């Protein structure tokens, strides 16, 4: 078996009594776009900084093509990085910034010039080489930073929330650029973000970080359809949780009692739930169907608390008798929404296979 | 929305003028003090340089025509330059360390720096005499360790002046440099490292160019202050390397030759002002080329 391209093994980082990264294990294929997604303090940035060589891990190893990187100082790792803040060298022009990594490698002048021109073309900033960074917009500066980080053909490009300082429209534009550049250069990218939409839009695979470990690694659809933990379910897509009771469990599925009258069987189960114990049933707003009135049968009875019109969607907030809130997303013009008002009683039904139950 | 009329513009300009003149009034007490106790005496001294013993430029001719005096000028410049270079060489690493060390440590170092600044100049200079003299702590320690057999001549010469003045000038270079280096985002140096720059390359190609405005202003300040320094060269220097301030003191105090003293003072003032103009010029462009 050949060694994986990039292998992070049992990585741990302690700062005094605080553990930033507990136990991170990950393999990345060559050319893959891997995103570290998680809230601040989940260890995603620390992992990236260890990869860059700015932090030393307390334990664990990082292997690139089977070779450990830990003992190599940052400037010999040959890794590219785009930072959250603008890090262009303010006293150098755009062209000189891109040439910097090539000049410190003492490449011949002609080669440097050719590469700078090629990089400017890649990020679509031809003609800007004599500008100073201060004369460029934030989005342009990050594109130059990208060109500088790719100029020396690094095997791995690290990106630490590079778009967080930009406004939404510009962000989407540059996400598009990053995707194109990833496809053109086939560089392996490790991208850190706390924005699930950005992660879903860009990545081949996403590693969801929580409290210093990776909760789950998978493609966007995998994480959405089959979240391994309650945290992943909350972080990818919208979700609501209703308390339920496990009636019986086996082979990854559970039969549940919800509220007073509803029983459902065959719900995918995560964690270990003994019969009779309480668990959290996850429901996605777009997977619920809504009918007017109390129908009984295999559905949840709920009271409408709010109705919000969101263009193509109508968002109905409802409360089940236990007091837990659920939201339902329906397409505009859906028959059940006409004349629907606050305080109305509705019945919510769903396909058991689309729900998930998380046991403590 | 209504456009501004010409009349509106005129009243706006008028208002700004009133505010400006009111602000100017606030500076009057300080200006008066300067005029009465600084500018008038200086002008009087300069007048004496062209009027005593008789009207004319004889004093300047004597001053600039004599090799003895020219040697003193040259010595003043070379000592000042040497002190500036040494101060910069020692001050830059300190300023850098201060900028990156944890703030608790930095405040201790600052306290030490300021404490030395607040201690009386004469006390500090005499302290250096005690340390540097032939039978001083430094020579005794070195001889005790067997590193030298004869005491090193550390005082009453260029070495003594340089050590003493560098020590006094250090805060004046560390403080402005610290301010400039502090403003450099550490992520810029991290980016340089990932680009493949060694520590040395990051220092020479990124950090030093970015810190240049601070270095220029600090160095010029130290150089200009050194040009007119009196106490330290007088106590720690030897007769062989007299500085300009000592010469002026000698003209006025020992020789009671106000004419020559005034002439020397004017030469010093002209040099200082020229350097200040250069500083403004360089600092101005440096700032424009910055971020």
Reported ipTM = 0.83
Instruction: Find the helix or strand (DSSP H, E) in which A107 lies.
Output: none
Share of chain B above pLDDT 70, in %: 90
Q: Which domain holds residue B265?
A: 56-283
Cβ contact A235:A208 at 8 Å: yes
Minimum distance, in Å, between the CA of residue B133 and any CA atom of chain A:
47
The residue of chain B nearest to residue A132, with distances taken between CA atoms, is: B291
Minimum distance, in Å, between the CA of residue B123 and any CA atom of chain A:
43
Residue B98 covered by a domain: yes
The residue of chain A nearest to residue B209, with distances taken between CA atoms, is: A91
Q: What share of chain A is helix, strand, coil (3-state, %, to 5)?
A: 30, 35, 35
Task: Report the C-alpha gap between B46 and B38 in whole angstroms.
Answer: 12
Query: Residue A353 carries which DSSP code?
Result: G
The residue of chain A nearest to residue B198, with distances taken between CA atoms, is: A75
Angle A233-A48-A60 from CA coordinates, rounded to 5°:
95
> Per the structure, how many domains does chain B have?
1
Residue B218 covered by a domain: yes
Measured CA distances, A151 to A98, A109, A119, A155, B179 (Å): 7, 14, 6, 11, 33
Sign of the C-alpha dihedral computed for residues A329, A335, A336 and A338 taken in this order: positive
Q: b or e along A190-216 (b: 16 or more beta carbons within 10 Å of the residue's beta carbon)? A: bbbbbbbebbbbbbebbbbbbebbbbb
Q: Does residue A221 have a pLDDT over 60?
A: yes
What pLDDT shows up at residue A68?
A: 93
Token digits for A29?
A: 């294929």
The residue of chain A nearest to residue B208, with distances taken between CA atoms, is: A91
The residue of chain B nearest to residue A90, with distances taken between CA atoms, is: B291
Say how many C-beta atoms besides its own lie within 10 A of residue B53's C-beta.
12
Minimum distance, in Å, between the CA of residue B97 and any CA atom of chain A:
18
Share of chain A above pLDDT 90, in %: 68
Residue of B191, B287, B291 to mutate, testing the A interface (most A Cβ within 10 Å of its Cβ): B191
Minimum distance, in Å, between the CA of residue B279 and any CA atom of chain A:
19
Token digits for A300?
A: 């949840």
Residue B206 covered by a domain: yes
Cross-chain residue pair A100–B195, CB shorter than 8 Å:
yes
Measured CA distances, B271 to A356, B90, B220, B277 (Å): 83, 26, 12, 10
Between A36 and A351, name the one with better pLDDT.
A36
Q: Residues A152-162: what's their mean pLDDT?
A: 95
Q: Does residue B56 have a pLDDT over 90?
A: no
Minimum distance, in Å, between the CA of residue B199 and any CA atom of chain A:
9
Say how many C-beta atoms besides its own lie within 10 A of residue A160's C-beta.
21
Cross-chain residue pair A53–B193, CB shorter than 8 Å:
yes
Q: For position B164, which CATH number holds? A: 1.10.3720.10
Residue of A75, A155, A164 to mutate, testing the B interface (most B Cβ within 10 Å of its Cβ): A75
Residue B214 covered by a domain: yes
Instruction: Find the helix or strand (DSSP H, E) in which A5 lies.
Output: none
Cross-chain residue pair A73–B193, CB shorter than 8 Å:
yes
Say how many C-beta atoms besides its own lie within 10 A of residue A257's C-beta.
14
Any idea which of A9-23, A83-97, A322-336 has the lowest mean pLDDT?
A322-336
Residue B16 covered by a domain: no
Instruction: Assess A107–B contact: CB distance below 8 Å, yes or no.
Output: no
Nearest CB to A104; choose among B197, B210, B290? B197
Nearest CB to A87; choose among B188, B290, B291? B188
Q: Does residue A304 have a pLDDT over 90?
A: yes
Q: Residues A69-73: what's their mean pLDDT?
A: 92
Highest mean predicted confidence (pLDDT) among A292-306, B101-115, B275-289: B101-115
Minimum distance, in Å, between the CA of residue B203 and any CA atom of chain A:
12
Residue of A104, A116, A151 to mutate, testing the B interface (most B Cβ within 10 Å of its Cβ): A104
Using CB atoms within 10 Å of the CB of residue A356, give its burial: 0 to 12 exposed, 13 to 18 middle, 19+ buried: buried
Residue spans of alpha helices (H) in B148-228: 158-182, 186-194, 199-202, 208-227
What pLDDT shows up at residue B287?
A: 46
Token digits for B248?
A: 């002026």
Instruction: Find the helix or strand (DSSP H, E) in which A352 lies.
Output: none
Say how many C-beta atoms besides its own lie within 10 A of residue B57's C-beta.
12
What pLDDT shows up at residue B114?
A: 87
Q: What is the DSSP string of A288-334?
A: -EEEES---SSSEEEEEEEEEEETTEEEEEEE-TTS-EEEEEEETT-
Task: For residue B100, give the nearest of B240, B211, B246 by alpha carbon.
Answer: B211
Helix B208-227 × helix B158-182 angle, to 10°: 140
Beta bridge partners of A280: A243, A358
Q: Provide the 3-class DSSP secondary structure of residue A1.
A: coil
Residue spans of alpha helices (H) in A158-302: 168-185, 196-202, 220-225, 230-235
Which of residues 27 through 66 in chain A touch B, CB cutoff 8 A? 52-54
Residue of A91, A141, A148, A155 to mutate, testing the B interface (most B Cβ within 10 Å of its Cβ): A91
Between A129 and B282, name the one with better pLDDT.
A129
Highest mean predicted confidence (pLDDT) among A88-97, A327-336, B119-128: A88-97
Give the confidence band of B81 by pLDDT, cuts at 50, 70, 90.
very high
pLDDT, tens digit, 9 for 90 and up, residues A192-211 = 999 999 999 999 999 999 99
Highest mean predicted confidence (pLDDT) among A136-150, A249-263, B46-60: A136-150
Q: Provide the 3-class DSSP secondary structure of residue A206.
A: strand
Cross-chain residue pair B290–A90, CB shorter than 8 Å:
yes
Cβ contact A314:A329 at 8 Å: yes
Task: Report the C-alpha gap between B202 and B191 in whole angstroms.
Answer: 10
pLDDT, tens digit, 9 for 90 and up, residues B124-175 = 888 888 888 888 888 888 888 888 888 888 888 888 889 999 999 999 999 8
Cβ contact A325:A249 at 8 Å: no
User: First CA to last CA across chain B, in angstroms?
Assistant: 36
Nearest CB to B197; choose among A75, A77, A132? A75
Cross-chain residue pair A83–B191, CB shorter than 8 Å:
yes
The residue of chain A nearest to residue B290, with distances taken between CA atoms, is: A91
Cross-chain residue pair B192–A145, CB shorter than 8 Å:
no
Nearest CB to A81; choose among B194, B199, B209? B194
Task: For residue A226, give the nearest of A42, A328, A358 by alpha carbon.
Answer: A358
Residue B271 covered by a domain: yes
Q: What is the DSSP string of A120-133?
A: HHHTT-TT-TTS-G
What pLDDT shows up at residue B4?
A: 47
Contact list in A for residue B193 (CB cut-off 8 A) is 53-54, 73-75
pLDDT, tens digit, 9 for 90 and up, residues B235-283 = 888 777 788 888 888 888 888 888 888 888 888 888 888 888 887 777 6
Q: Provide the 3-class DSSP secondary structure of residue A204.
A: coil
What pLDDT shows up at residue A298?
A: 73
Contact list in B for residue A53 (CB cut-off 8 A) is 193-194
Cross-chain residue pair A152–B194, CB shorter than 8 Å:
no
Mean pLDDT, rounded, of chain A: 91
What pLDDT shows up at residue B13?
A: 57
Residue of A82, A90, A106, A142 to mutate, testing the B interface (most B Cβ within 10 Å of its Cβ): A90
Task: Report the C-alpha gap between B9 and A43 in whole angstroms.
Answer: 58
Cross-chain residue pair A152–B188, CB shorter than 8 Å:
no
Cross-chain residue pair B193–A101, CB shorter than 8 Å:
no
Q: How many Cβ pairs closer than 8 A exist between chain A and B?
A: 75
Give the confidence band of B10 by pLDDT, cuts at 50, 70, 90.
low
Contact list in B for residue A152 (CB cut-off 8 A) is 195-196
Give the confidence band of B42 by pLDDT, cuts at 50, 70, 90.
confident
What pLDDT shows up at residue B139?
A: 86
Q: What is the DSSP string of A36-65?
A: EE--TTSSHHHHHHHHHTSS--SEEEEEET
Residue spans of alpha helices (H) in B35-66: 40-51, 58-65
Largest CA distance in chain A: 79
Q: Residues A121-131: what's their mean pLDDT?
A: 93
Give the confidence band of A160 by pLDDT, cuts at 50, 70, 90.
very high
Q: Does residue B1 have a pLDDT over 70?
A: no
Residue of A74, A135, A161 to mutate, testing the B interface (most B Cβ within 10 Å of its Cβ): A74
CB half-sphere exposure, A98, CA atoms < 13 A: 31
What pLDDT shows up at residue A284?
A: 92
Residue B110 covered by a domain: yes
Query: Residue A75 carries which DSSP code?
Result: G
Task: For residue A329, give the nearest of A345, A343, A344, A348 by alpha carbon.
Answer: A348
- The single residue listed with the structure tokens 């360089």 is B282
Residue B9 covered by a domain: no
Using CB atoms within 10 Å of the CB of residue A238, give its burial: 0 to 12 exposed, 13 to 18 middle, 19+ buried: middle
Give the confidence band of B290 by pLDDT, cuts at 50, 70, 90.
very low
Give the confidence band of B7 by pLDDT, cuts at 50, 70, 90.
low
* Chain B residues whose C-beta sits inside 8 Å of any chain A C-beta: 185, 187-188, 190-199, 201-202, 205-206, 209-210, 289-291
Token digits for B32?
A: 């008066």
Task: Report the C-alpha gap between A248 and A55 in whole angstroms.
Answer: 48
Cross-chain residue pair A83–B195, CB shorter than 8 Å:
no
What pLDDT shows up at residue B120?
A: 86
Cβ contact A136:A147 at 8 Å: no
């Amino acid at each position: 078996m050949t060694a994986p391209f990039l292998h992070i093994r049992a990585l741990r980082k302690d700062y005094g009594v605080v553990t930033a990264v507990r136990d991170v294990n990950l393999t990345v294929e060559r050319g893959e776009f891997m995103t570290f997604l998680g809230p601040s303090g989940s260890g995603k940035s620390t992992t990236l900084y260890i990869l860059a060589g700015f932090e030393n891990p307390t334990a664990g190893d990082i292997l690139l093509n089977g070779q450990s990187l830990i003992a190599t100082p940052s400037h010999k790792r040959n890794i590219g990085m785009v930072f959250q803040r603008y890090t262009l060298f303010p006293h150098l022009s755009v062209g000189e910034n891109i040439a910097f990594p090539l000049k410190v490698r003492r490449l011949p002048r002609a080669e440097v010039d050719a590469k700078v021109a090629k990089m400017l073309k890649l990020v679509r900033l031809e003609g800007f080489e004599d500008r100073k960074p201060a004369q460029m917009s934030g989005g342009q500066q990050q594109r130059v930073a990208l060109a500088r980080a790719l100029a020396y053909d690094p095997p791995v490009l690290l990106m630490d929330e590079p778009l967080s300082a930009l406004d939404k429209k510009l962000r989407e534009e540059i996400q598009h650029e990053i995707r194109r550049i990833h496809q053109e250069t086939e560089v392996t990218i490790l991208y850190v973000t706390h924005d699930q939409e950005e992660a879903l839009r860009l990545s081949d695979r996403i590693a969801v970080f929580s409290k210093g470990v990776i909760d789950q690694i998978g493609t966007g659809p995998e994480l959405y359809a089959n979240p391994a933990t309650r945290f992943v379910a909350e972080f990818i897509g919208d979700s609501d949780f209703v308390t339920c009771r496990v009636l019986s469990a086996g082979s990854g599925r559970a039969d549940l009692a919800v509220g007073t009258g509803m029983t459902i069987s065959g719900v995918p189960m995560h964690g270990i739930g003994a019969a009779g114990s309480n668990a959290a049933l996850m429901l996605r707003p777009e997977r619920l169907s809504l009918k007017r009135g109390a129908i009984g049968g295999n559905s949840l009875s709920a009271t409408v608390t709010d109705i919000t019109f969101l263009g193509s969607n109508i968002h109905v907030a409802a409360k089940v008798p236990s007091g837990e809130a659920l939201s339902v997303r329906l397409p505009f013009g859906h028959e059940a929404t006409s004349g629907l008002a606050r305080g109305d009683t509705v019945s919510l039904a769903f396909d058991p296979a689309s729900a998930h139950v998380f046991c403590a | 929305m209504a456009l501004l009329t010409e009349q509106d513009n005129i009243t706006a300009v008028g208002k700004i003028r009133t505010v400006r003149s009111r602000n100017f009034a606030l500076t009057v007490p300080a200006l008066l003090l300067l005029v009465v106790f600084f500018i008038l005496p200086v002008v009087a001294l300069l007048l004496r340089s062209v009027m005593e013993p008789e009207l004319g430029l004889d004093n300047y001719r004597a001053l600039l025509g004599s090799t003895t005096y020219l040697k003193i000028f040259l010595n003043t410049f070379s000592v000042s330059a040497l002190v500036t270079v040494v101060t910069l060489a020692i001050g830059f690493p300190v300023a850098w360390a201060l900028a990156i060390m944890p703030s608790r440590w930095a405040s201790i170092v600052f306290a030490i720096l300021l404490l030395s600044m607040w201690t009386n100049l004469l006390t500090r200079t005499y302290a250096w005499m005690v340390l540097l003299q032939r039978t001083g702590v430094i020579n005794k320690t070195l001889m005790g360790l067997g590193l030298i057999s004869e005491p090193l001549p550390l005082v009453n010469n260029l070495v003594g002046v340089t050590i003493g003045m560098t020590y006094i000038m250090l805060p004046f270079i560390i403080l402005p440099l610290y301010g400039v280096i502090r403003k450099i985002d550490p992520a810029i140096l991290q980016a340089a490292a990932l680009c493949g720059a060694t520590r040395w390359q990051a220092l020479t190609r990124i950090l030093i160019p970015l810190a240049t405005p601070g270095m220029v202003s600090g160095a010029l300040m130290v150089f200009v202050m050194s040009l007119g320094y009196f106490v330290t060269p007088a106590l720690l220097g030897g007769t062989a390397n007299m500085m300009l301030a000592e010469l002026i003191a000698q003209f006025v105090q020992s020789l009671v030759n106000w004419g020559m003293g005034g002439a020397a003072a004017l030469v010093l003032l002209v040099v200082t002002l020229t350097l200040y103009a250069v500083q403004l010029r360089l600092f101005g462009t440096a700032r424009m080329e910055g971020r």
